[in-house]
Every structure is written in C-alpha cells, then in structure tokens.
C-alpha cells in the first residue's frame, strides 16, 4: 500500500487536515501554521490523486479512508483530531464512522453526509481545454480557463495545481482523468447506518448551499453529538474566505 504525501508542522497533539476536491494540502498551509502555534502537530495531507500523493484508478470514500488510516498507522498516530473540507470532510466522516477509535474529534467543513449530484462538470469541462503541448506558462493557462470559467477565485484555486512535469512542460498535479471519471463517487453519501458519537463540529458558510437547515437532522442522525455552526461572510471555501472566524471556531472546539 502506498503512503500519502504530507507536510507536518509543529509538535503536540496530532491534527490531520484533509483538503477538498481538486485541492491539495498546500491550500491549508497558513491555517496549519496557526494550529501548530496552538500546540498541535499538524499533518497537511494530500489525498490520493491530488497534490503530491500517488495516482491510482480506485477512488471512493472507503478507499480514501483506508489511505488515511494507513497513514496514521505508519506515523504511529493512535488517535488524532481530523478536519476535513468538502470531499475531505466526507473522507473524515467515513473514518470516524468506520474506525471511531482513531478519531479524537471530528471537524467537518461545509459538507453534509448526504448524496450530492455531480455538480463540478463545468469545472471539469474547463480543465479539459488545457492543452499542455500548447501552454507554456501560468498566464497562458489562465487565459484558456477564462474562456470557459469566469470566476477568478476558482481559476486561481485550480491553477495552484500547475507544476513543471519536466523542464519546459507544465501539467496538473491532480489526476484529471480519474477525477473526471469518478464524479459520481465524489458526491456519494456515507453509509445509511454509519454513526460516530464522539465530539463533532460541522461548520457551514452562510453563503453556501452545501449544508442547509434541512440537512441538520441527517447530520444529527449520523453524528448525534454534532454541533452545527455558521461562518459568516463565507461560501463553500469558508476557511479561505473567512479564515479568522474559521480559526476561532475550530480552535475553540479542538481545545474544548
């Protein structure tokens, strides 16, 4: 079994952070440094097919959870607090409900345990227009994406994945082909009978539609001790849009 790539910051109680779809551990570097100053050993983890972690055809939440559990065993982490955003939140829920002994506290950022129909297709379609035989700079890649994707912030988020595959040849860090073909699995719900009774915090963005009041009962059914709170002036990328309030609410929970 292959080991997930990570960046480890600080010393203290283990805290794993799992990024969202098409993201990577580097998205959490600023907050990771802040958690480290609070006395945590922060593991910023790249999930499979993302960041600097390995690429593989298998891609579902059972597999993503197994990757993280193997990572914890290899790093001899008997238990950790876990923060997961979006897809990473689903991975975290899967770990907590299947192997609760590994999870001290669960913090889920802007995702519910329910099924989400595929809704990233417009992003995938835009990425499909990137031809790295023709593109030789970040600026050129942005110009191509801008023809199909008007949101500047989303383009900048995606372009963080650009890297030099070899001298003079750009590429994307994430496994585009597998992620494009596994859209259904990314929206999958957690198992209908899955539960985790440990301390849980669900943070939602006030401008996001990923967690609605109608989802609260489902969250409580799977996570009976869950607290549900709202981060103001934030959409789905709440940790980036209002990092101050996200950090305050998350550290209050992690230190409680």
Is 96 within a domain? yes
pLDDT, tens digit (0-9, with 9 covering 90-100), for 198-221: 999 999 999 999 999 999 999 999
> What gap in Å lies between CA 175 and CA 156, rounded to an integer?
18
> And the tokens for 104?
């001290």
The tally of domains found in the chain comes to 2
The answer to whether residues 100 and 31 belong to one domain is yes
Candidate list 25, 66, 86, 250, residue with the active-site label: 86
Query: What pLDDT shows up at residue 79?
Result: 98
Query: What pLDDT shows up at residue 118?
Result: 84
The answer to whether residues 158 and 172 belong to one domain is yes
The answer to whether residues 232 and 136 belong to one domain is no
Candidate list 73, 177, 209, 248, residue with the active-site label: 177
Query: What pLDDT shows up at residue 184?
Result: 85
The answer to whether residues 199 and 101 belong to one domain is yes
Phi, psi of 164 (to 5 degrees): -85, 110
Query: What pLDDT shows up at residue 156?
Result: 92
The answer to whether residues 96 and 18 belong to one domain is yes
241 in catalytic set: no
The answer to whether residues 82 and 36 belong to one domain is yes
Terminus-to-terminus CA distance in the chain, angstroms?
Answer: 35
74 contacts 6 by C-beta, under 8 angstroms: no
The answer to whether residues 59 and 96 belong to one domain is yes
Query: What pLDDT shows up at residue 102?
Result: 98
Is 212 within a domain? yes
CATH number of 25's domain: 3.40.50.1820
Candidate list 104, 236, 239, 241, residue with the active-site label: 236
Query: What pLDDT shows up at residue 119?
Result: 84
Question: What range defines the domain where residue 19 resides?
Answer: 6-116+188-254
Is 1 within a domain? no
- Count Cβ neighbours within 10 Å for each residue of 114-144 and write b for 16 or more, e otherwise: bebeeebeebeebbeebeeeebeeeeebbeb
The answer to whether residues 218 and 234 belong to one domain is yes
Domain edge (last residue) among 181, 205, 220: 181
The answer to whether residues 104 and 177 belong to one domain is no
Domain edge (last residue) among 157, 181, 205: 181
The answer to whether residues 91 and 172 belong to one domain is no
Q: 2: Cβ–Cβ under 8 A, 6 or more apart, which residues?
A: 48, 53, 54, 56
The answer to whether residues 108 and 224 belong to one domain is yes
236 in catalytic set: yes
Please tell me the number of Cα atoms within 13 Å of 201 on its side-chain side: 21
Is 55 within a domain? yes
The answer to whether residues 74 and 41 belong to one domain is yes
Residues of the chain with pLDDT under 70: none
Domain edge (last residue) among 136, 165, 181: 181
């Amino acid at each position: 079994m292959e080991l997930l790539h990570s960046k480890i910051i600080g010393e203290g109680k283990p805290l794993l952070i799992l990024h969202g779809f098409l993201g990577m551990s580097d998205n959490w570097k600023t907050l990771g440094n802040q958690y480290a100053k609070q006395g945590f050993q922060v593991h910023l983890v790249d999930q499979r097919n993302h960041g600097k972690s390995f690429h593989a055809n298998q891609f579902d939440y059972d597999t993503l959870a197994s990757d993280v559990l193997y990572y914890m065993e290899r790093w001899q982490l008997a238990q950790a607090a876990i923060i997961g955003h979006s897809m990473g939140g689903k991975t975290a829920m899967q770990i907590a409900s299947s192997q609760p002994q590994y999870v001290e506290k669960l913090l889920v950022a802007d995702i519910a345990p329910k099924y989400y129909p595929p809704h990233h297709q417009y992003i995938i379609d835009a990425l499909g227009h990137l031809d790295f035989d023709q593109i030789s700079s970040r600026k050129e890649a942005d110009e191509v994406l801008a023809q199909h994707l008007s949101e500047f912030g989303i383009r900048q988020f995606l372009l963080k994945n650009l890297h030099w595959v070899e001298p003079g040849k750009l590429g994307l860090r994430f496994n585009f082909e597998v992620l494009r073909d596994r859209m259904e699995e990314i929206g999958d719900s957690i198992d209908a009978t899955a539960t985790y009774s440990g301390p849980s915090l669900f943070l939602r963005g006030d401008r996001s539609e990923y967690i609605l009041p109608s989802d609260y009962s489902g969250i409580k059914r799977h996570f009976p001790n869950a607290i549900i709170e709202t981060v103001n002036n934030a959409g789905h990328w709440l940790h980036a849009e209002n990092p101050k309030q996200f950090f305050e609410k998350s550290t209050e929970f992690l230190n409680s």
